[in-house]
Structure 1
Amino acid sequence: MVAIQEVARRSGLPEATLRYYERIGLIAPVPRDENSGHRRYDPDTVRTIEALACLRTAGLGIDDMRAYLRELSDAPDAARRQRELFEKHAAQIADQIETLRSRRRYLDAKVLLWGSRERGDRAAEERAIDEVTRAASELR
């Protein structure tokens, strides 16, 4: 049995999050030490919490974490639903990456623009304006 401080250290989740996950039923009620009243986590619960920590870091919300835990079985339909869950999140991350790339292109173009103005290079400034315009259109 492991104390909450150790589970927090191992999972990277704050103690408050561990208590919250218990309160909302994401993890089962955690037994308490008879003498101190402190939570004592069994190895299976610790493994579940470590998995939840990874899911949280990957960007899954509480509802999807619940779905993940519900589908932990060997049934073929469970495997399909798990795959779909992770495909959905992978697609969301891919969209976010593309959005970040567009933002980066815009910011890089602005750096070129202001750098050319700083140097007084009109030809470079004109090219940078074109690049800023193209990058800005991607943001919309």
Structure 2
Amino acid sequence: MAGSTDRAAGLTIQEMARRSGFTEPTLRYYEKIGLLGRVARDESSGHRRYDPATADRVEALACLRSAGMTVSGMRRYLDLLARGDSAAAEQRDLFAAQAEKLAADIERLQLRLAYLRGKADLWDARVRGDAAAEKRAIEDVTRVMDQFND
């Protein structure tokens, strides 16, 4: 039952870092700039202890950050969250805009993936001495590269 005791006492910064994917310096920074609010401290050691509510907030921020949201976007989210349902339309707009940005990022990544696969195909064709496959691979890579400029 040590896990439930630890949970009741709060997560250490190391545990919170492992759980969220943030580094310890990032967690300290987010606390310093007010994204986390005040993080409780262990009375005997002074070490940070992340209570369940703060841990939930950190995990929500980790999801937003992994989706590419900036610190200012996360701050905006938290400000709107504090306003409750009266800010629902603004929350919708914030998330819709971030979803569009993420979709554009994914599209760029898909182009890079197609480029890498095309280059692998080209070199594979050269290894095999298959001139026709090499020509197709060059055409494919050229097509992908043209899309980078669009």
If the TM-score is normalised by the length of the shorter chain, which range does it land in? 0.7 to 0.9
Matched AA of 2:104: D
Could you tell me which of 93, 101, 104 is aligned with 1:92?
Answer: 101
Match of 1:75 in 2: 85
Count of aligned positions = 139
Could you tell me which of 17, 24, 45 is aligned with 1:15?
Answer: 24
Question: C-alpha displacement at 1:93, in angstroms?
Answer: 1.4
Match of 1:4 in 2: 13
Post-superposition Cα deviations, 1:16-59, rounded to whole Å, max 9, x if no partner, equal: 22211111111222243333222333332222222112222222
Distance 1:51 1:26 in 2: 11
Q: TM-score if structure 2 supplies the norm length?
A: 0.77
Question: C-alpha displacement at 1:13, in angstroms?
Answer: 2.7
**Mapped pair 1:113 → 2:122:** yes
Distance 1:33 1:113 in 2: 59
**Mapped pair 1:43 → 2:56:** no
Query: Unaligned regions of 5+ residues in structure 1, if any?
Result: none
Distance 2:65 2:25 in 1: 15
Match of 1:123 in 2: 132
Question: C-alpha displacement at 1:66, in angstroms?
Answer: 0.4
Percent identity over the alignment? 54
CA RMSD of aligned residues (A): 2.1
Query: Unaligned regions of 5+ residues in structure 2, if any?
Result: 1-8
Matched AA of 2:49: R
Distance 2:23 2:106 in 1: 27
Could you tell me which of 27, 35, 38 is aligned with 2:36?
Answer: 27
Could you tell me which of 102, 109, 121 is aligned with 2:111?
Answer: 102
Question: C-alpha displacement at 1:67, in angstroms?
Answer: 0.5
Match of 1:53 in 2: 62
Matched AA of 1:12: G
| Partner SS, residue 27 of structure 1 | coil
